Amino acid sequence: MRAIGIAHFGETPALREVPVPEPGGGEVRVAIEAASINPLDLAIASGALAALGGYRFPLTLGMDGALPTAGMTALGAIDVMGVPEGGTLVVLGATGGVGTFTIQAAAARGIRVIATASARLAEEVRRLGATEIVVRGAEPLDEALRRLAPEGVDAILDAVGDRSLTSSVAGAVRDGGALLSIGSGLEERLLADERIRAADYRLDRKPERLAELTALVTAGTIRPVIGARLPPGGGTARPHRRYQGHRNARQDRPPGALTSGRCR
Ligand SMILES: NC(=O)c1ccc[n+]([C@@H]2O[C@H](COP(=O)([O-])OP(=O)(O)OC[C@H]3O[C@@H](n4cnc5c(N)ncnc54)[C@H](OP(=O)(O)O)[C@@H]3O)[C@@H](O)[C@H]2O)c1
């Protein structure tokens, strides 16, 4: 069978022939028709997570089947933040895989969503359900949030992982509100702040979360946003370069908390 993988860390992922895997006890073999490229795949391929060990080469990449990782992370994060219907949620990195699911799922719960996006993608983000867009680079985000929600927001979800960004907007969270990062984007002082509920979030992979996600997608309440259709052979070079660009842009971030991009 064909699979996208690497022969060594640092190589651009490429399509190659690999043996068909034989399922062991309690496992099943799943046929994949289409898959997404998750930032975690690119982080693994770069070698940024080599210290975790357990890799065997040639290494087949594949954290995702286009939906579960980003979708379940969005649903889990929304639950942890606990924003009530009618409450206000800010999504940083709203055009990515997690961000686009978060906007849709939160809007479906009657939550007011303020999203950050480039000018080019602002309309797409609005179509997903964001009520207000703060265009990146047009206005300092903390000032925009003070203008849009002078009373403070109920929660901010950081899907970028930029510590200076989260530090600049933490003051916009109301007392007792949540500041959650999925990209290790919070400084220690914020994690220790008792005024707000600040935390790093890790996907819990609960089966019931996958069932909830499946039901939402089947009902048409939320949909995966396809940023680009890549050919099976050699199509990973572009996201790989993009990943490297984001990585270079955010030197202060820990390895692994890196992004490619989805909504474009
Ligand atoms: N904790 C967990 O369990 C968990 C689960 C899933 C993902 N993650 C992590 O969460 C992050 C987001 O995942 P994802 O799948 O949504 O990634 P993604 O599809 O690559 O999206 C990343 C988002 O961040 C934006 N962004 C990137 N660099 C930026 C910068 N310098 N300033 C402002 N915005 C920037 C991107 O916008 P542009 O494309 O316009 O730059 C995009 O909206 C990744 O770091 C991923 O590794 C963690």
Domains delineated in the chain: 2-66+229-249 (no CATH), 74-200 (3.40.50.720)
pLDDT at 236: 66
The rounded Å distance from CA 27 to ligand 1 centre is 31
pLDDT at 226: 87
pLDDT along the chain (264 residues), means of 10: 92 89 93 82 92 92 82 97 98 96 98 96 96 94 98 98 96 98 95 97 93 97 89 66 61 34 40
| Helical axes 207-218 vs 68-81, angle rounded to 10° | 100
pLDDT at 247: 61
pLDDT at 86: 98
pLDDT at 30: 86
The rounded Å distance from CA 23 to ligand 1 centre is 33
Query: Of ligand 1's atoms, which has the minimum distance to the CA of residue 249?
Result: 31
pLDDT at 252: 40
Long-range contacts of 165-172 (CB under 8 A, 24+ apart): 165/92, 165/141, 166/92, 166/190, 168/140, 168/141, 168/142, 169/90, 169/92, 169/141, 169/142, 169/145, 170/196, 170/198, 171/142, 172/90, 172/142, 172/145, 172/146
pLDDT at 143: 97
**Ligand 1 lined by 69 (C-beta under 6 Å):** yes
Query: Of ligand 1's atoms, which has the minimum distance to the CA of residue 100?
Result: 16
